[in-house]
Chains A and B, each alone.
Chain A
């Protein structure tokens, strides 16, 4: 019987040692290794160019829109304690209600989104959500995870076009969306804007486009359970003394461009 006991102890000890050895001495990255900011910036510029050459994504050239977006990017950056990126907002002539972030701080906003927004707070809320994805590094993490760095950096025009289409069609996971929502609420608060505008934007989109309106709308595409997200945003705590200000532009200033 003693031998059985010794063998049992040996077996447990060997198992424990193997487990401990692999757990301690080998590093398994839970997230893919990210690339430097400079490389991400280059990648972002490259893919922005490719996307703007796709059908239905032509850039809207308008000095008024440019100045509003530059001001928006600057303000949303300046209120953050330690932003890691500069943001470039790009308006494209596309009727879909959509906005999506690209690597390196680029955010594409569609004409459809501008037309859908009832006020500038809603548009800023959506932009803040996209900034959340950028600052939390969801964009580059998703790309490396889904596509792989080697493919992304390929110079082949065909590959780049396919990668760009993949960027447009793939979504974030639930955790990333919730993180981006929280980030957006925080950013809106810091900008003296009503943080719960994001919830009313989601609700309106849901009401107007039915139960499954989100297939083409990146920021909610991967998550049909919008009600929970709306509830979470509405539960965001705003101090009683908080008084939201008016944004620095009106939505009509942008709508009048078209």
Chain B
């Protein structure tokens, strides 16, 4: 797989590092609303990605990695919240399966929280940090040279 050049920390300006770091920190800013309404975090991460994706590959990678992981975590959180609401409305008991998922979701959120802090710190230093699965996925999407980019150039210098 051919890759675009991977920037080293000293090749990145401070603005890029801050924007890349912001992709993770943004999640903490929306946590207060995101706990009861996980969709808020989901929307925030998508908006952040689309606003910042044109600010260079380094920023795009971190924003995309943060968005992918946030989407999955938010989806699981939403599922749990909906399940709890359905149980409460219908007066159904909270089964062991529910509580098992609740704890698993709690563990996932905690891991995600820790990874996000590390990701934010690394990004702020101009470095990469790869989450399991999401890191590779985002990297491939941002840094792999796509077929189109190999097409024969149309504009050429004049024949000398």
Contacts and interface: CB of A to CB of B under 8 A. Distances in A.
Interface string A18-44: 111111101110110000000000000
Interface stretch (B32-40, B41-49, B102-110): B102-110
B133 A23 contact: no
Contact of A11 (B95, B103, B107, B133): B133
B46 to A, nearest CB: 21
Interface in B106-126: 107-108
A235 interface: no
Contact of B93 (A15, A22, A30): A30
Nearest to B139: A4
B108 A15 contact: yes
Given A4-B137, A7-B136, A11-B133, A30 B104 contact: no
Interface residues of B, number: 18
Contact of B95 (A3, A10, A30, A173): A30
Contacts of A18: 103-104, 107-108
Nearest to A28: B99
A23 B97 contact: yes
A175 B108 CA distance: 34
Which secondary structure dominates where chain A touches chain B? helix
B95 to A, nearest CB: 7
Contacts of A173: 91
Interface residues of A, number: 23
A8 interface: yes
A26 B100 contact: yes
Interface string A70-91: 0000000000000000000000
A11 B96 contact: no
A18 B106 CA distance: 10
Given A23-B97, A24-B96, A26-B99, A15 B136 contact: no
B74 to A, nearest CB: 15
A1 interface: yes
Contacts of B107: 18
27 contacts: A1-B140, A3-B136, A4-B133, A7-B132, A7-B133, A7-B136, A10-B132, A11-B133, A18-B103, A18-B104, A18-B107, A18-B108, A19-B103, A19-B104, A21-B100, A22-B99, A22-B103, A22-B104, A23-B97, A24-B96, A26-B99, A26-B100, A26-B103, A27-B96, A30-B93, A30-B95, A31-B93
When A and B form their complex, which 5 residue pairs have the shortest distance between CB atoms, in order from nearest? Answer: A23-B100, A22-B100, A7-B133, A28-B99, A30-B93
Given A19-B104, A26-B103, 12 more contacts: A1-B140, A3-B136, A10-B133, A11-B132, A15-B108, A23-B96, A24-B96, A24-B100, A26-B96, A26-B100, A28-B94, A174-B91
